[in-house]
Amino acid sequence: MSSYVKNLVKQARWASYKLADLSAQEKDAALKNMARAILKNKRFILSENAKDLVKANKKGLKKSFIERLALNDERLKEMSLSLKEIASLKHPLGQEISKTSRPNGIQLSKVRVPIGVVLIIYEARPNVTSDCTGLLFKTSNVGILRGGADAEHTNKAIAKALRQGLLKSKIDFPAFFIVEKPGHGIVDELLQQSEYIDLVIPRGGESLIRKVVETSNIPVIKHYKGVCHIFIDDSADIKKSLRICVNAKAQRPSVCNAVETILVHKKIAGKFLPLLKKEFDKAGVSMRLDKRALKILPGLKKAEKEDWSTEYLDLIVSVKIVEGLEEAIEHINTYGSHHTESILTKNQANARRFTKGVDSACCFVNMSTRFSDGFQFGLGAEIGISTDKLHARGPMGLEELTTYKWIGRGSGQIRI
């Protein structure tokens, strides 16, 4: 282990014990100061972000990547508001999950406590720096944050603002750490520090997440990609369905909760698909169609088998006509990534069957997949979206950043 990594992880472990001593009131006040510091340092953060954008454009990085990297006044306001929202939420630490009395008089309770030290590895989305710091801080977890090199200036600027907020709150120890030393070797070293780091959460593309899972000897919470679906049932409201599909694909196509595949019931495909194409043409969305859909919309690009499992992160969507609900569920469970799916229907029995039968972290009825988001769920922000099934699933907020301990109270009992 290099001296840099050794010093970093030891400091983080020490800071986690210090952070646990802060009161709920102290943490909420600090979060509000951090929110104000983001806006106070707006010009500085945007100027540093501009440096990263120039570098990204020179490198010829993908448009979707640059869109995630870019900050503006509105996004900074959202980052500030997110920290305020986190401050307003109920503190989960110390909550009694369950309580029982044993026949021998011992009282047992299960209580929420911090996880400890959490390593966040992420790519181009600078709001992760503030969102994750806020959630981890509120739950008395210390974050070690390693952002991508393409967002280096932006992440440092945001971290500087957050530290100003902490200092204004008279918190004079490091409550989070930014990994500033370059090189992939540092990440590989950190992923071996199970003695000091309790959890790893990678946020980024599939290749990054798979590399982290393969390298880490620390538990990892992950989602590889967001292949999200919308199924248009034969009873769906056509006008509402068109609006939802356009929103789910075009409002922000570069994020993991954007829809990638639209499944259409055969009974309404002839009416619905020409209307959908008209709306998608306005939004600049290109469609890739299965054989049956091509008969209705000839001349468009044919969907290949790999399209059904592709996360485009772009203004591209695949479309398939299905026989009905059961085929839609089968398709989603076969090709989806267990992230977010939505059914558009007036049939409540079909809605119940869909939400029960689809094996995904989030199952929606008559709404856009874009609502699969911690802020939209009222969590203040999200540390990530998990498609795992153990510990956490879906958008992860404060409760998902806790574990528990058992507390026993006796009156002198001994085991016989």
Q: How does pLDDT run across 55-73, given as a tens digit for each residue? A: 999 999 988 889 889 999 9
Long-range contacts of 292-299 (CB under 8 A, 24+ apart): 292/266, 292/320, 292/321, 293/264, 293/269, 293/319, 293/320, 293/321, 296/269, 296/270, 297/273
206 with 274, same domain: the answer is: no
Q: How far is CA 14 from the centre of its chain?
A: 27
- Domain contains 340: yes
User: Is the domain of 210 the same as that of 290?
Assistant: no
Does residue 106 lie within any of the structural domains? yes
How far apart are alpha carbons 233 and 392 in whole angstroms? Answer: 30
Cβ atoms 161, 154 nearer than 8 A: no
Judge if 234 and 344 occupy the same domain. Answer: yes
pTM for this model (two decimals): 0.87
Is the residue at 377 inside a domain?
Answer: no
pLDDT in tens, 293-303: 999 999 999 99
Q: List the one residue out of 268, 290, 280 whose CA is nearest residue 242.
A: 280
Residue-wise pLDDT tens digits, 318-355: 999 999 999 999 999 999 999 999 999 999 999 999 99
The verdict on residue 387 lying in a domain is no
Does residue 405 share a domain with residue 308?
Answer: no
Q: What is the pLDDT of residue 198?
A: 97
Whole-number percent of the chain with pLDDT over 90: 88
CA 208 – CA 124 distance, rounded (Å): 12
The token pair that represents 408 in the structure block: 């026993």
Same domain, 298 and 212: no
Q: Which domain holds residue 144?
A: 3-221+396-409
In terms of domains, do 38 and 97 share one?
Answer: yes
Which stretches within 70-120 are classed as H helix? 73-88
State which residues of the chain have pLDDT below 50: none
What totals of helices (H) and strands (E) does the chain contain, helices first?
14, 16
* CATH assignment at residue 153: 3.40.605.10
Terminal C-alpha separation, the chain: 47
254, containing H or E segment:
none
215 shares a domain with 304: no
Compute the distance between CA of residue 283 and CA of residue 387 in angstroms, rounded to an integer. 29
Question: What confidence score (pLDDT) does residue 362 get?
Answer: 97
- Does some domain include residue 382? no
Nearest to 396 by CA among 405, 386, 406: 386
Q: Spell 131-154 as b/e; 16+ CB within 10 A means b.
A: bbbbbbbbbbbbbbbbbbebbbbb
pLDDT score, position 336: 96
pLDDT for 401 equals 95
* 366 in the same domain as 274: yes
Q: Are residues 319 and 402 in the same domain?
A: no
**Are 262 and 194 members of one domain?**
no
Residue 147 lies in a domain: yes
Residue 312 placed within a domain? yes
Same domain (yes/no): 139, 19:
yes
**What are the tens digits of pLDDT across the range 158-193?**
999 999 999 999 998 999 999 988 888 999 999 999
Provide the pLDDT for residue 222. 86
Indicate if 87 and 148 belong to the same structural domain: yes
Domain total of the chain? 2
User: Which candidate, 34, 14, 10, 8, places its Cα nearest to that of 138?
Assistant: 34
In a domain, 384, yes or no: no
Which residue shows structure tokens 């100061």? 33
The CATH number of whichever domain residue 333 belongs to comes to 3.40.309.10
CB 357: neighbour CB atoms within 10 A?
Answer: 15
Q: What is the pLDDT of residue 232?
A: 98
**pLDDT value at residue 123:** 85
